[in-house]
Each structure stands twice: as C-alpha cells, then as structure tokens.
Amino acid sequence: MKFGGTSVASAQRIAHVADLITATDEPKIVVLSAMAGTTNALVEIGHQLMAHHRHEALTILTKLKHKYEQETQLLFPDKHSYDRAWTLVNETFFFLEQLCYSDTFTLFDEKKILARGELLSTAMMLRHLEDRGVRAVGLPALEYMRTNKQAEPDEDYIQAHLSELIKRAPEGTQLFITEGYICRNAFGDIDNLQRGGSDYTATLIGAALEVDEIQIWTDIDGMHNNDPRIVDATSPVRRLHFEEASELAYFGAKILHPTCIQPAKRRHIPVRLLNTMAPDAPGTLISLDTDKDMIKAVAAKDNITMIRIRSNHQLSHWSFMGKVFALFEHHCIPIDMIASTEASISLTIERSTLPDDLRHSLQGLGSIDVEHDMTIVCVVGDMEWDNVGFEAQILNALSEIPVHMISYGGSDYNLTVLVEAADKRRTLLALSDHLFGSKDAKKGADK
C-alpha cells in the first residue's frame, strides 16, 4: 500500500492512513511519500544552498520546521508522546540546519536533503502507531532499495536485502512501514528514484515479494478518462490493461509514475489505484485483464517540440534514417512520435527547445523545420487492427482542430496526435464530447 504526499499531508490525514492500514490483519507493507509540500521545500533549500544563498535556505527551512511542529502537536496531543515524537522529528531539522551552515555544499548533500521528507513521514507514522498500541516494523529503504550503475533499480539486490530485513522482524509481524522515493546508488551514496518514485518503490517491493496486489493510494478515485483540470464530469476508468495504463502515464496522466507499472507487469501482479479520501470507492484495477472493444481514456503531454528533417538526398534512405536516430541517441534525447516518408522524417521530443549542437548536426543531413509549444494527445483503448471504426471516431472528433502529426499502429492500445499547445483544451473537450459525451465509446450500437 503506497500513500502519496496528499494522503499524509497533515496530522489528520496521517491518522486516517493509520486507520486504513490497521483495518485488517492481513500482512502488508506500507510505502509513504513525504508530507505534501515537503519535497518542494527541500528542493528549493538545495537550490538556494547550491547558489550560496544560506539566508534564503534557512528561511525556507524555518517555515518548514514550523509546519512540522504544528502537525506533530496535533498528531501527538499527549505531552509525553509529543516530546518523544518531536525529539525524533527535530533530529532531521537539526541535520538540515547543520548542512545550511556548512562551508561546502555538493550534489551529494542535496540528495541527502531530499531524502529527509520520506524519513520524516515514516518516523511520524511509526511513532503514531506505537501510541495506538499497534505493532509495526520499519523497513529502512536505504538498507534495501538500490540502483545499479545505469541508475536502474537493482532488482536482485532489492529482493535479497528486503527479504532478509523481513526475516529479521519479530515473529508474527504483519505490518511494515517503509519510505518511498529514496534509495542508494551503485556506489552506496544516498539517491532517489526521481519525482513520483514512491509509486516505483511500491511496485518494486511488490514484484520482489510477489505480493497478491499493489495498491497506490492518492487523492483521486482512480485514473480518469480525461484531464479533470480541463474537462468537467470526467469519470474513473474501472479496468485497464498494463499497457493501457503505461501509455496513459507516459503521455500525461499524473496519477501514476510512468515507469512504475513495469515491475508489476513482469510478475503479473494487479495494481489498484484508490482514493484515500474515499476508501470505499472501487478505483481503477490495472492487470492483464481489461474491458475489450472500448476507448478508455485520453491524456496529454505538454512541452513538446516537433522537428521535421528533409533529406538532402546525399544519403541513401536507410542511411538517412539511421543517422537521424543516431544523433538523438548520441544526445540521449528520447523520441515520442515519428512519421516518415522516403526523404523526410517528422518527430517529437519532450523539450521546449532543440539543443544548438543537435540542430547543427541535423542540418548536415538536410533542411529542418522546428515547431515549439506543441502538445501530444493520446487516446487509449482496445486499438487492435481489426477493431474498425475507432480511429475514425477519434479523427472525426478533431475535424475542426489542426493536427500536425498522427501516430497509429505502433501499439495495440493507443492513437496519438500532435496539436499546438494553444489547441490542447479544445482537443480534450472535443474528444470528451465525441468519445464519452453520452456513453462510453464502444464498437457497435449494441455494445
């Protein structure tokens, strides 16, 4: 069970999560994010210290410390309990204050700062459970969660060390608490799994222990069929295939970390998205099973640049293609969408600008056009080739919107279009109206 930052955003919500995780006696591991707003504050503290702005860093830290002092008082109203809890919490702030006064500050120190949010959450939860008389054991993430030299999770290491920690727990322990997001790298230094990494922590743990189910608890009732910040009356999608969920996460659905699905998919472990504020709601179940013959959802990714390269005809077709892709590989820039003819390639990257050295290299292959401020809109569902009509429904919905690129057939689960960022809202509304307006889009009038 992973609980995000909004789920543990206050003393009241920490207590509510404690209710949820103690509601049943089944064995469970609870992964906690930092309290909402904490990681942003810690990031800013690190930035200020890197810029040698000690006073600004201390101002942010003092404000954060005051917030934690207030929430600790609310979570531990008994004075004795509060004193014990605040002594524990204050150790973190003493550590951070010492870093602020250090004469040197490095990237290694910045990673140490970022780890403190999750360490605070787990410490407060464990102390709160102890006050309730609930037996729970902490699993320090820095003792089992590690990445390899390619900065990818070292799954063999994780499995071996996590299993050993669990074996060491007192016999009969049913509840374990651990930190999301944080880890050590291949050299033993404190590191992290990047933003949203608590989801990744949960699925890596689930895969390592081959659990029955992985639950991601947030502040929304599952994955919705469109962006609720733009489209009114969106609804949760109750069932998704692993691939459908991966596509939606990659192309902008914020509820899920884009890479976290893969460990669960490899072990065929269902992932359930649930709402901490409405725990009885069914949420979204992600598994190998899914509803067929349906368009499920729409997601959008911003900050996209489109590049069109037209060959100067000095290279053969296969050589031209190979050199273009080799340049993007050399610059470690992933490509989202591709459309090609014999003499030209159009592609998109998730960047606001094209690096000057890459632009210069591409100009050696031919003429290029670059369009900024673009948005990728992805429509996900059962898009197998023999499900005729879905692509027509999608394109009919966009009949009045300029579309720069279309990608279809690269996956059985999505059709993707590229529009100008200024047309994003209009595109999402049009798709919502045409695909989900009166009823879910289904193949055939009788379905």
Q: List the binding residues.
A: 2-5, 39, 118, 218-219, 229
Give, for 425, the enclosing helix (H) or strand (E).
helix 424-436
Annotated binding site for ATP: 2-5, 218-219, 229
Decide if 349 contacts 337 (C-beta within 8 A): no
- Separation between Cα atoms, residue 54 and residue 34, nearest integer Å: 23
Enter the DSSP assignment of 226.
S
Annotated binding site for substrate: 39, 118
Measured at the CA of 328, the angle between CA 322 and CA 333, to 5 degrees, comes to: 150
Other beta carbons within 10 angstroms of residue 20's beta carbon come to 17
Task: Name the token pair of 162.
Answer: 């996590």
Decide if 169 contacts 137 (C-beta within 8 A): yes
Give the CA dihedral 152, 156, 161, 166, nearest 10 degrees: 110
Decide if 130 contacts 175 (C-beta within 8 A): no
* Helix, strand, coil abundance in the chain, percent, nearest 5: 40, 20, 35
